[in-house]
Amino acid sequence: MPAATAQPASPFAVRAWRDHDTTASELPGMCLGDIEVDGAGGEAARRLFEAGVRRVALPRPVDLTDPVDTGWTVRALSFVGDLTSLAIAVDWQVRPGPGPASWNRLNHLHPPTALLDVPEAEEALRSWRNGYYICKCVHRQGPGFVQVRDRRFGELRRFIIDEPEYQAAIAALADGVPTTALPQDVVDDFVTEELAVRFGDHIWWAPYRVRRWPQTPTMI
C-alpha cells in the first residue's frame, strides 16, 4: 500500500509580531495582525519568516486528549515544529493528558505558554523551558536517505532511513495524516521508535525538518 498524500487542510489565522520579546511586541509597528495560514505548514512558516515574523500565537489550544479534533492536533503540532525549526517563538497552549510522558515527547517544540489540566503545571513548564533547545529532535533529507537525530529522552538516538516506502511516509506526514493513509507496518515502526504519535485516527511525525543549525552541524 503506497503512502498517500495528505488532503489540503482548512486555513487558520495566527497573530504575528516582529520580535520574540513580548514587551518589544507592544511597541508601535511590531504587531503584524492576523495572518492566514494555508497550504503546507513548512511553506507557510517560511513565508512568515521572510515577512519578518519572529513570534506567532496559535488561535486555540491544542488538545491531545480530544478524540474528535485530531486533524487539528496533528496539523497544529506539525506547524509548531515548522516554526520552531526557524527559531520563531510560538505562543500556544496544550492539553497533553496525564503523566509526564505525555508532554516529554513534545519537549523539542518551542515551549508553550500553558500546560492545561496538568498537576504542578508551572514546574512542568519550567522543566520544558530549561531543557529546550533548537534541533533537539530533527530530520534532514540526504541523497537517498533521511537522517533523524532525537535527543528528547536524554541521549542521542540516530536513525538512517533509506527505504523508499518509509521516506514516502515521512513526506506524507509533513502536516500529519489519517493513520489509514500510510502502510500499517510503517506506522507501527515509527510509533514503536516514538518518532510518530497516534492521536485518534491521525498520526503525527515528531521530528521537524532542520532548517537552522544552532551551531556548526558537525557539533550536533
What is the full per-residue pLDDT of the chain (220 aa) written as tens digits? 444 444 556 889 999 999 999 999 999 999 999 999 998 999 999 999 999 999 999 999 999 999 999 999 999 999 999 999 999 999 999 999 887 778 899 999 999 999 999 888 999 999 999 999 999 999 999 999 999 999 999 999 999 999 999 999 999 999 999 999 999 999 999 999 999 999 999 999 999 999 755 554 444 4
Sheet containing 145-150: which strands, arranged edge to edge?
Answer: 157-161, 145-150, 137-142, 208-209
DSSP 200: T
Q: What is the predicted pLDDT for the residue at 215?
A: 54
Domain boundaries, the chain: 12-133, 138-208
Helix (H, G, I), strand (E, B) or coil at 213: coil
Nearest 5°: the CA angle 24, 212, 42 is 85
- Residue 16's closest CA among 42, 46, 48? 48
| pLDDT for residue 74 | 96
CA 57 to each of CA 61, 90, 146, 179, 213: distance values in angstroms, whole numbers, following the listed order: 10, 6, 30, 28, 24
pTM: 0.91
Summarised one tens digit per residue, pLDDT across range 185-202 is 999 999 999 999 999 999
Angle (nearest 5°) at CA 44 between 39 and 50 = 150
